Structure 1
Amino acid sequence: MTTGDGDASPRWRGGGSWAAAFADLVVPLECAGCGRPRQRWCPDCASTLSAVPLTVRTRADLRIPVWALSRHTGPAALAVSAYKDRGRTDLARPLGAALAAAVDRLRADGEIAEADERPTVLVPAPASARARRRRGFDHVRQVVDVLAAELAGAVPTGPVVVAPVLEVRGRVRDAAGLGAQARADNLSGRIRRRPAGTPLRATPGAPVTVPALLATPSTVLLVDDVVTTGATAAQCVAVLEAGGLRVTGVLAVTAA
């Protein structure tokens, strides 16, 4: 991968980390979905994210397709919760890989363009600064980096871009328990475009600046961990399209 802000992150290369290895020694390893010992994510739980992506109907007004790997229940929901709120950052890899398999399936089914037809642009749904501090990392961005690496290493390949062009500004409430209208009000005016100079991570042949991205016909996917009412996705899509970036669809790990 080439990058607009220095050398590619190790996450793009798919390596582990000494911190994860140390954690394995301190905390007994168990499957995030079922608790099976000595496995991070067992084959049975992994199979819950390997079916045909679901087409999701949201309460928010989204006029583009919304896809999810699973309903937010069972092992899938437990894995997402463990990943973003209980320190299981090792789950970024299987979740990102499952999303990549879903992209392959959507291409095969003619839902989105093939890899070699146009660049694939992945826009991470933004988290508030408060949420990032609480978790210690940007949970959606980390999964998107894995997703991008998986797509870039696939055959046939095509240009891939990670475009972190959205941010949350101002104070927002925890969305848990909020209804569709309350979620929309909570985010109204707070999701905004980042400056045009925001660096993009891109493979060779892909746009490496925001102006170039806007001028290049692409498959643009907004990626999130969970779609609930669709309020967050709708706000993100509206901001992206107001800035000239046409969104193809929304892709999430689960749908509540």
Structure 2
Amino acid sequence: MPRRRTPAPDWAAALADLVVPLECGGCGCPRQRWCQACAATLEGPLLRARTRADLPVPVWALARHAGPPARAVSAYKDRGRTDLAVPLAAALAVAVDGLRAAGELAEPDELPTVLVPAPASARARRRRGTDHVRGIVDALAADLAGSVPGGPVCVAPLLEVRGRVRDAAGLDAGARARNLAGRIRRRPEGTALRATPGAPATVGALLATRATVLLVDDVVTTGATAAACVGALRAGGLAVDGVLCVTAA
């Protein structure tokens, strides 16, 4: 298994803690960002999620969308706890290690790893003030690239939501699929990628390179979003190896 480097001190977060009292994102325990007990809830066996939407690739999640994992995801995406991106990404990185060890994914020295963040609508980004999945993906890429031994990693924000979409909360599988129909599309060829040495640095190079491609999202519910994303990527010529999420509802 790769060994993970100890993260550098986050001085900005430490300063913020002087203004807003720090509490665990999973249980509210004071003076801890993410306590050991809550971290342990993301360390169990990786779940193979069953989705109502038809997906041609496996969907993996760290935990069920309940308890501390659900509260952490909610705090991260809707209550401004952007500091939780790092521990959530660290748990996802360990999951990637496990999938590699199990032979589900190629080893990092065999193929570069390409991470595609599930897109958010412009309205959701404005409301939250951030692209929350992209934040997790950037932290995950840094963790994977910093492991020992490491491997080439590329963050590929290839997808976007075009047009108006409804809030998916409360929608069933069919309604979610109709809500997204034709609205998740590939971005133009000139889309900027973030790549470490050895990873494809342009969309053209990515399409011409064999790689391990993972769609990353925070929560999988019916699988409608994941299915639309995988379909758009495949239609654009990019094979996807799996979908990796923090929680499965």
TM band (smaller chain): over 0.9
Partner of 1:120: 113
Task: Report the TM-score when normalising by structure 1.
Answer: 0.93
Partner of 2:141: 148
Matched positions, count: 243
Partner of 2:242: 249
RMSD: 1.2
**Structure 2 counterpart SS, 1:233:** helix
Q: Which runs of 4+ in 1 moved over 6 A?
A: none
Unpaired segments ≥5 residues, structure 2: 1-6
**CA apart distance, 1:193:** 0.6
Give the distance between the partners of 2:64 and 2:239, measured in 1 at CA.
27
Give the distance between the partners of 1:161 and 1:15, measured in 2 at CA.
25
Partner of 2:3: none
Unpaired segments ≥5 residues, structure 1: 1-12
Give the distance between the partners of 1:74 and 1:112, measured in 2 at CA.
29
Whether the aligned pair in 2 keeps the contact of 1:14 and 1:146 (CA below 8 Å) is no
Cα offsets for 1:124-162 (capped at 9, x unmatched): 000001100100110000000010000001122111100
Residues 200-211 of structure 1: pairs in structure 2 closer than 5 A: 200-211=193-204
Cα offsets for 1:166-217 (capped at 9, x unmatched): 0001111000010000000001111011110001000101110001000101
Partner of 1:7: none
Partner of 1:169: 162
Whether the aligned pair in 2 keeps the contact of 1:92 and 1:143 (CA below 8 Å) is yes
Q: Which of 117, 130, 141 is the equivalent residue of 2:123? A: 130
**Structure 1 counterpart SS, 2:124:** helix
**Structure 2 counterpart SS, 1:31:** coil
Task: Report the TM-score when normalising by structure 2.
Answer: 0.95
Q: Which amino acid aligns with 2:16?
A: A
Whether the aligned pair in 2 keeps the contact of 1:52 and 1:105 (CA below 8 Å) is no
Q: Matched residues, percent identical?
A: 76
**CA apart distance, 1:26:** 2.2
